[in-house]
Structure 1
Amino acid sequence: MRLQHDPAVRAEHPGLAVGTLSATGITPAMPVDLEKFLARATRRLADGPESEFPEIQAWRRAFAKMGLKPTQYRCASESLLRRLRKEGTLPRIHPVIDLCNAVSVAYAIPVAVLDVAKISGSLVVRHARGDEKYVTFAGTVEHPNPGEVIFADEDGQAHARRWTNRQSGHSAVSATTSDVLIVSEGLHATAAEDVRLLIEAIAGELAAAGVQVTRP
């Protein structure tokens, strides 16, 4: 599975840092350790709300640059941190999703997890033309707005809308998922190092769970 960012997106966001890894052997019963990551995020939230984190502020600026109201459309890590602050925990969905959500809040950086079997060809993070298909978690089909940043495959399927705002139900992890692509992106000043550490943390936890991990 290959992922690349369109040069136009890179040019608009020169500070973008990206980390990816592929994992094979995912199961609904795989053991994962979440508490240390959730505890790290909770400690940080005790010092101030997620909206003050530089990682979140950088994505808010990016969303504003894309013409989106940052408090209406939040990046995935901000939404998770907000939920953790209000509810004290995160919902359990699937071990690999739960792990990536926990690491995401620990580092305050968005993490996407995509079922490789549902992706046609390679993925490109690019501006939408407007004719791509995006499947919601309810099963309805939307078309991204022209110019919106999306994760698009070779069949024109949009696997994420508004960049790091919301993934597609089409490639969401399910009980039958075995292979996933994990992507993390950051825009803040120390994003390159932080994204590297985040990917290392996920890779280490997956390897400990007996999952085969491949990094580019």
Structure 2
Amino acid sequence: MFDVSISSQLKEAVTDFKIGVIYYPAISVSDLPPLIGDRLPLYYENIQLSLNDHPVCEIPGIKEWRGIFKKTGTDPSRYRPSQEALLRKIKKDGAPHFVNSAVDLLNFFSVQHSIPMGLYDATKLNTPIHIRIGTDDDHYDGLNGRTMHMKDKILSADSIEAFGSPIVDSKRTCVTGQTKQALQIVYLRPSMDSDEAHLLITKMAEMFTQVHGGTHELTLIQ
């Protein structure tokens, strides 16, 4: 299992900050099986319809994570939590971008539970991994095509550099069809109790391995 820790500075800013960490040592990434893939468009269509009556920023998980961003110095109207960005994309276009089975399933989890999360090619990571608040020195090439400057933003960093955040992840560690080992970081809602949080990451890990094969190792860090 990967060595992952939360910085004391982040814990001081967000007292109940917690993450789920799931390691998948042997997966096969392709397309989602029809049982899931064929149902996702209808699921997202229903989400799109529901957002006509419920503003995205008022969804409990979105509201809580916007508050977390403010506590760490991030303007959530300028840099949105990733699950909020997904929901706004669904509201506008009816669905997120479909990429591959791993990313598509992760996006489903994120929308379903209204929390940010990231999935990384584990062979491109160098331990230890720290979840902390960024400084002037932290930046990376994001999957959104922009250079992400991470000062005052929550990020994940390995021994090389920052590689992910609850906003957008890096190109360096992205999961592709060639990925065989993956690390998932689930940015849980601080308001969740430990039992609820552990059950949630367990269910996600089980569904992920049902789709991608292999086994999983997981831990709750708080």
TM range (shorter): 0.7 to 0.9
1:77 to 83, 86, 94: 83
The match for 1:151 is 156
TM score, norm. by length of structure 2: 0.82
Tell me what 1:12 maps to. 13
Shift of 1:202: 2.0
Native 8 Å contact 2:141 2:147 kept in 1: yes
Instruction: Name the % identity.
Output: 23
Does the 8 Å CA contact 1:80/1:105 hold for their aligned counterparts? Answer: yes
1:116-155 alignment runs, 5 A limit: 116-137=122-143, 144-145=150-151, 147-155=152-160
Given candidates 43, 55, 68, the residue that maps to 1:39 is 43
The answer to whether the 8 A contact 1:19-1:183 is kept is: yes
- For the residues of structure 2 that align with 1:57 and 1:51, how far apart are their CA atoms? 6
In structure 1, runs of 5+ residues without a counterpart are: none
Gaps of 5+ in 2: none
The CA distance in 2 between the partners of 1:111 and 1:142, in whole Å, is: 17
Give the partner amino acid of 2:19.
V
Shift of 1:50: 2.2
* Superposition deviation, residue 181 in structure 1: 0.6
Say if 2:20 and 2:186, in contact at 8 Å, map to a contact too: yes
Counterparts in 2 of 1:3 and 1:178: CA distance versus 1, 3 Å = same
Residue equivalent to 1:176: 178
Bigger drift between 181-190 and 195-204 goes to 195-204
The structure-2 alpha-carbon separation of the partners of 1:44 and 1:193, relative to structure 1 and needing over 3 Å to count, comes to: farther
Pairwise CA RMSD of aligned residues? 2.7
Q: 2:93 aligns with which of 87, 94, 99?
A: 87
**How many residues matched?**
212
The structural deviation recorded for 1:185 is 1.3
Q: Secondary structure at the match of 1:77?
A: helix
Letter in 2 for 1:26: I
Show CA shifts across 1:122-144 (max 9, x none). 21011334334522337776653
CA distance in structure 2 between the aligned counterparts of 1:195 and 1:4, rounded to whole angstroms: 17
CA contact (8 A) 1:127 1:148 kept: yes
Name the CA distance, whole Å, in 2 between partners of 1:108 and 1:24: 26
- Which amino acid letter does the alignment assign opposite residue 150 of structure 2? P
Quote the Cα distance in structure 2 between the aligned partners of 1:116 and 1:91.
Answer: 23
Residue 102 of structure 2 is matched in structure 1 by 96
1:12-38 Cα shifts (integer Å, max 9, x gaps): 101223112111333332644253697
Deviation at 1:80, TM superposition (A): 0.7
Alpha carbons of 1:88 and 1:143: their partners in 2 closer, same or farther (altered >3 Å)?
A: closer
